[in-house]
Amino acid sequence: MSIGGHDEREQTLNQILTEMDGFTGREDVVVLAATNRPDVLDSALLRPGRFDRRLLINPPDLKGRREILAVHVRSVPLDADVDLETIAAVTPGMVGADLKNLVNEAALLAARRGGNTVRLRDFTEALSKIQLGSERRIVVSAEERRRTAYHEAGHALMGMLTPGADPVRKVSIVPRGHALGVTFQSPDTDRYFYSEPYLRGRISGMLAGRAAEQIVFGDVTSGAESDLEQATSLARQMVGRWGMSEQVGAMSVLPDPRREQSFLTDGTGSSPATRELVEMEARRILDECSRNAFDVLDAERSRLDALVQALLSAETLDMAEAYQASGLPSASGISTGPRRDESREG
């Protein structure tokens, strides 16, 4: 039984409560319910005496994803280059249904190319397709293609040069979904908390595409829209949720990220002065990270140009190719697709 925040939740709640109130201690009836939206459940359903046990099911960790994948590939002929540990490592946050979909999509791609086995590149392409959509067959002018290459190269190079950043797994200027290009990064292991330097590095990486455009072309475009949205949201959370600002201090102003929009008006209980201070501190973090991205890429212009030339030639670079083109030592880990991406909107 699934309970969620939909139009019929009141009827569902009343039906469950009616049925549960009809039970006695002599009846062998077990009531099970599951939801991925516990925040919308009525307090009448959660009061003591309703349910004996409450279990919190988290997404599987690395070992769990590896074992789930093993179940779903039992009837799938795998190539010798497929390592389930490799695939599990770059799918953090995915649950069983996601992993099953990944295996099915990889098998379909293998069948379309006429292969007898499913290769690692099929899983890589399947992951990209699931996360970003299918490749778009559109005509992009030479100037836009070059600008997109610099934008994505900026993301990638900043990720490679930032200490402690997630390794860059793939860089591409092939249009997918709404994006003209993408840069993939993902950690080697599951992360459960984030340090301030790591988060600042992420923001610098998000703003690096825009910085690369400023350095090379002297202006910016609307292609950084998604990057700015992500960076702004992350900076606000650093200040308003995680106490990463000396001016605001150890104070939770944004207790729930889903209420961030209401934070800008009212709805959080914080004063207008506090909200204004959070905005000022978030802007300070964004400005510092933007300057950092600009300074690093400007100092490494030769590496940026080299990576762009490789992108314009190959269109898609995996981990080893991207690090080699940049003249940097390859990061440890694997080179299939990741969970997180920074994309230039098209």
Tell me how far CA of residue 103 lies from CA of 81, 115, 117, in angstroms: 15, 15, 12
The structure tokens 């039984």 sit at 1
| CA neighbor of 223 nearest in space, from 317, 345, 116 | 345
Active site residue 213: no
**Spatial separation of the C-alpha atoms in residues 215 and 219, rounded to whole Å:** 8
Q: How many other CB atoms are found less than 10 A from the CB of residue 195? A: 11
- The strand pairing partners of 342, in sequence order, are 183
Name residue 290's amino acid. S
Pick the catalytic residue from 152, 281, 300, 342. 152
Distance CA 164, CA 159 (A): 9
CA 68 to chain centre: 21
The 3-state DSSP class for residue 49 equals coil
C-alpha–C-alpha distance, residues 275 and 54, integer Å: 36
Taking the C-alpha atoms of residue 195 and residue 37, their distance in angstroms, rounded to an integer, is 28
CA 224 vs CA 191, 207, 213: distances in Å: 26, 8, 10
Residues forming the active site: 152
